[in-house]
Structure 1
Amino acid sequence: MDITEKKIVIFDDDEDILSICSFILEEQGWTVYAYTDCNKIVEKISAVMPDIIIMDNWIPDDGGIIATQTLKKNEALKHIPVIYFSANSDIEQLASHAGAETYLAKPFDLEDLEMVINSVLVKN
């Protein structure tokens, strides 16, 4: 058992996606924090200090791009990798514009979710 807690924050306004992702990640030993909006994002992330953030594009109120950019401008939080999460066909450009480390296109399968999380963990 790893003594360091692995924490992940998921921002998505789709509660089904939050439930599924939370369940899968908790099964893998993650402590999951799920939010349906990105209001007060700096406070939310500062309180948790997660290892990874999964950010939906269409998250109320500011949206994933502004929320990610806000985090990346914050000295204490900018090192936390963000996985951009969207069904948009131009997700690669959206993730790049937001400043996210990588992206995961919806719909995705669970292997894709695990793979992208592991790839970000390896880089940090």
Structure 2
Amino acid sequence: MTHKILILDDDSDILFFCTYVFENLGFTVISSNHCNDIIAQVESSQPDIILIDNWIPDIGGVKATQQLKATEHLKHIPVIIFSANSNLPQLAEEAGADDYLRKPFDLEELEGLALKYVKP
């Protein structure tokens, strides 16, 4: 069974890099450069894990994660917030995210964190 990851970041280089990494791990990758209609995006893609940038337009990663975690049929999906913010642990906690990843990150950090929640 192939697992799906939804990656939300407005930086096309990060989307490209993350897509490459996760496809090589055997994931099906869905990506978006915004978090508008986050509930609809997640419902249509049905990911096993979500990686979301804190500074993504329009509402940002914290509010988007809060919306997901407040939605009964979606709250079980692991959400990892990633950002260069110095207060990232507090942001992740405020968002209700399952984990966080500091930018810049290295390949092993990215793979390890995702594989902690989903085995491809």
Q: TM-score range by the shorter chain?
A: over 0.9
Aligned residue pair count: 119
Equivalent in the alignment of 2:62: 65
Matched residue type, 1:84: I
Structural mapping, 1:1-124, within 5 Å: 4-121=1-118
Deviation at 1:119, TM superposition (A): 1.6
**Taking structure 1 as the reference length, what is the TM-score of the superposition?**
0.93
Please say if residues 83 and 101 of structure 2, whose CA atoms lie closer than 8 Å, have aligned partners that are also in contact.
yes
**CA RMSD in angstroms, aligned pairs only:** 0.9
Please say if residues 91 and 105 of structure 1, whose CA atoms lie closer than 8 Å, have aligned partners that are also in contact.
yes
Q: Deviations over 1:32-76 (max 9, x none)?
A: 011000001101100111110001000100011110000001011
Gaps of 5+ in 1: none
**Taking structure 2 as the reference length, what is the TM-score of the superposition?**
0.96
Gaps of 5+ in 2: none
Q: Which has the higher contact order (CA 8 A, sep 6+)?
A: 2
Deviation at 1:121, TM superposition (A): 2.8
Matched residue type, 2:33: T
Deviation >4 Å, runs of 4+: none
1:13 and 1:101 map into 2 onto residues whose CA distance is 21
Matched residue type, 2:30: Y
